[in-house]
């Protein structure tokens, strides 16, 4: 019996490139949410493949990582070359609130539980190659990087590793990207900050890596986060590469995330 009132999955006869699509009615969203999945070939002999969840940025949805960033093609190439072991790539929507939900709880909806609880549970219901013991790693870009950090550090018992590209590091900086006033998020805690969260949970953090482009407007904030994490002796990997806040950068460097997750799970 399904945990969800409704769970629709795409018909394999019409799927391409290993992509599947789910639509789930979630109590946490008080409505439906979408997930795009990349499922590698020949998974019939597996029962607990890792699940790598990729969070999109503002304005995006469940299709963004695959159809703007080619995430499934990057993953498939790495798997075929045996650079990484087989894994499920899960690309959920953020809940589609405003320009971006920030993956937090607000306005009567729990976008955090949608990601860390509903998405893995739905995957386990529709795929025989994963189960409740499958390791879960969390990554994202921009607003999704912010979500990966906060959800990862607050749910360390569920998340095996965190990776972020071009991350927003403070909730207040979301105002540079969204139309909605930040007050309309009606958060319990208004000044959400990645650094403060890492310090608060520093004794129980998953492994962390993040990167940023050297022409990215968020470079200064990411450098500051790196320096402060180092000052507080919080282990992490930080890298900088040429590039701006754009899909060409995230498409190129997603492989860093997938290789990192594979390394951690080994």
Query: What does the pLDDT read at residue 223?
Result: 98
Answer for the pair 2, 125: CB distance below 8 angstroms, yes or no: yes
Angle, in degrees to the nearest 10, between helices 247-265 and 71-80: 40
d(CA 109, CA 44): 36
Query: What does the pLDDT read at residue 233?
Result: 98
All domains of the chain in start order, with CATH: 7-265 (3.40.50.1820)
Query: What does the pLDDT read at residue 1?
Result: 82
Query: What does the pLDDT read at residue 191?
Result: 64
Prediction pTM value: 0.98
In sequence order, what DSSP letters do the residues of 93-116 get, joined into one string?
Answer: -----TT--TTSEETTEEHHHIII
At 41 the three-state DSSP class reads coil
Mean pLDDT by 10 residues, the chain (266 residues): 95 96 98 98 94 98 98 98 98 98 96 98 97 98 98 97 98 96 86 92 97 98 98 98 98 98 97
d(CA 255, CA 253): 5
Q: Which residues of 104-120 are buried (b: 16+ CB within 10 A; e: fewer)?
A: bbbeebbbbbbbbbbbb
At 133 the three-state DSSP class reads coil
φ/ψ of residue 51, rounded to 5: -115, 115
Query: What does the pLDDT read at residue 187?
Result: 87
């Amino acid at each position: 019996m399904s945990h969800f009132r409704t769970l629709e999955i795409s018909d394999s006869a019409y799927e391409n490139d290993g992509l599947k699509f789910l639509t789930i009615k979630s109590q946490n969203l008080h409505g439906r949410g979408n997930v795009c999945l990349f499922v590698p070939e020949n998974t019939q002999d597996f029962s607990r493949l890792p699940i790598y969840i990729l969070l999109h940025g503002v304005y995006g949805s469940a299709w963004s990582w695959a159809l703007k960033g080619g995430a499934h093609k990057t993953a498939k190439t790495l798997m075929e070359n045996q650079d990484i072991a087989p894994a499920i790539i899960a690309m959920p929507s953020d809940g589609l609130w405003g320009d971006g939900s920030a993956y937090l709880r607000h306005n009567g909806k729990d976008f955090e539980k949608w990601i860390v609880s509903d998405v893995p549970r739905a995957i386990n219901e529709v795929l025989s190659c994963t189960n409740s013991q499958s390791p879960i790693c969390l990554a994202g870009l921009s607003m999704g990087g912010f979500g990966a950090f906060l959800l990862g550090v607050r749910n360390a018992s569920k998340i095996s590793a965190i990776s972020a590209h071009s991350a927003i590091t403070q909730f207040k900086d979301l105002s540079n990207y969204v139309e909605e006033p930040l007050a309309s998020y009606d958060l319990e805690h208004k000044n959400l900050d990645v650094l403060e969260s890492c310090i608060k949970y520093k004794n129980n953090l998953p492994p962390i890596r993040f990167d940023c482009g050297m022409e990215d407007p968020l470079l200064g904030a990411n450098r500051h986060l790196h320096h402060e994490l180092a000052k507080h002796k919080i282990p992490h990997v930080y890298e900088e590469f040429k590039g701006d806040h754009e899909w060409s950068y995230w498409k190129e460097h997603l492989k860093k995330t997938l290789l990192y997750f594979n390394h951690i799970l080994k």
